[in-house]
Structure 1
Amino acid sequence: MKPEPEIFQLLLRRYGLDPSRTLFIDDVQKNVDAAKEQGMQALRFVDAQQLRQALAELDVPGVK
């Protein structure tokens, strides 16, 4: 279970994800921190406007 590192490692392994190209979004800071410790990009969700802005700053396709 989040924020244990094993759940993030399982996710990355199961889906063949490159941690540096994987974006994790959660509303709990300790989960965001745990994802970052596994090498993922991670954002804390506060509200839709903040998330939209953060995604735009990361140049996520389809986000303005």
Structure 2
Amino acid sequence: MEHPLVTQIERTGYPNMIEQPEHIGIDFFGDEILDGDEFVEYEDELILIDNLNRYLVEEMGF
């Protein structure tokens, strides 16, 4: 006989005890944008600030 919590964990997996930030979308390069991330919007595209230099070089030729 197993403890009911063990049975539940085996059935549904471990509960997510850590609060996760809200998912806002995906940026131009396919990276996930989470609540609190800094990003810019250019011509209906979202670009994470971390990817902005890459965007400027690869897409805009700067």
TM interval, short-chain normalised: under 0.3
- Compute the TM-score of the two structures, normalised by the length of structure 1: 0.23
Where is the strand percentage greater, Structure 1 or Structure 2?
Answer: 2
- Compute the TM-score of the two structures, normalised by the length of structure 2: 0.24
Q: Report the structure number with the largest CA radius of gyration.
A: 2
Higher RCO, Cα 8 Å, sep 6+ = 1
